[in-house]
Amino acid sequence: EIVMTQSPATLSVSPGETATLSCRASLSASSNLAWYQQKPGQAPRLLIFAASTRATGIPARFSGSGSGTEFTLTISSLQSEDFAVYYCQQYNNWPITFGQGTRLEIK
Amino acid sequence: QVQLVESGGGVVQPGRSLRLSCTASGFAFSSYGMHWVRQAPGKGLEWVATISYDGTKQYYAASVEGRLTISRDNSKKILFLDLSSLRAEDTALYYCGKDGLQYSGTYTDYWGQGTLVSVSS
């Protein structure tokens, strides 16, 4: 099983600044990595798939990078609606596995 | 537009069974793999099971294998999750999701709003 580890657990950033979230895989996930955003009381929303491809309707301020075991989600010019919990997920191997999440909070 | 509506959740005693359903619309259901993902109260996302577009392949998390069964009815566009021998740790919001690629098992590009399963005596 590929274990996904996200860091930090909580990230405090001011609106307008840039947030950098990390996700590490215990084995190579190639580029088969997705990022999701989840707000309280809502279902997750797909942001990024294939490590760096934005999903339909996702603003350009969200970008993903990395391959193998190291991945990054960068959110530039943070807006109030971006403060949420973010999860990475690998789908390179069964079982599919998620990271534990990073909570992005307003500083 | 893609819509996924889960149903069937509720309060159930330990050891009992439950069937969850997910009714799909707005896409070619029979061409996409489907997923169940759950989220315990206050916790993160946990992948539970995936079924191939034609129902011939199923994949399960180790924590649920043998107790949960994923299935689908392509003629009615419904995804199912049968839960048996339920335990307290199965208490969670269960989401169904559509796979992002045709004929594949990958990421989830659309999610339902979830149905809550609470296992308690």
pLDDT at position B102: 82
pLDDT at position A96: 96
Q: Which residue of A has its CA nearest to B46?
A: A98
Is the CB of residue B50 less than 8 Å away from at least one CB of chain A? Answer: yes
pLDDT at position A29: 97
Number of Cβ pairs closer than 8 Å across A and B? 60
pLDDT at position A22: 98
**Do the Cβ atoms of B50 and A96 come within 8 Å?**
yes
Is the CB of residue B105 less than 8 Å away from at least one CB of chain A? Answer: yes
What parts of chain B have a pLDDT lower than 50? Answer: none
**Mean per-residue pLDDT, A43-63:** 97
Is the CB of residue B27 less than 8 Å away from at least one CB of chain A? Answer: no
Task: Return the HEC string of chain B.
Answer: CCEEEEECCEEECCCCCEEEEEEEECCCHHHEEEEEEEECCCCCEEEEEEECCCCCCEEECCCCECCEEEEEECCCCEEEEEECCCCHHHCEEEEEEEEEEECCCCCEEEECCCEEEEECC
Is the CB of residue B107 less than 8 Å away from at least one CB of chain A? Answer: yes
pLDDT at position A54: 98
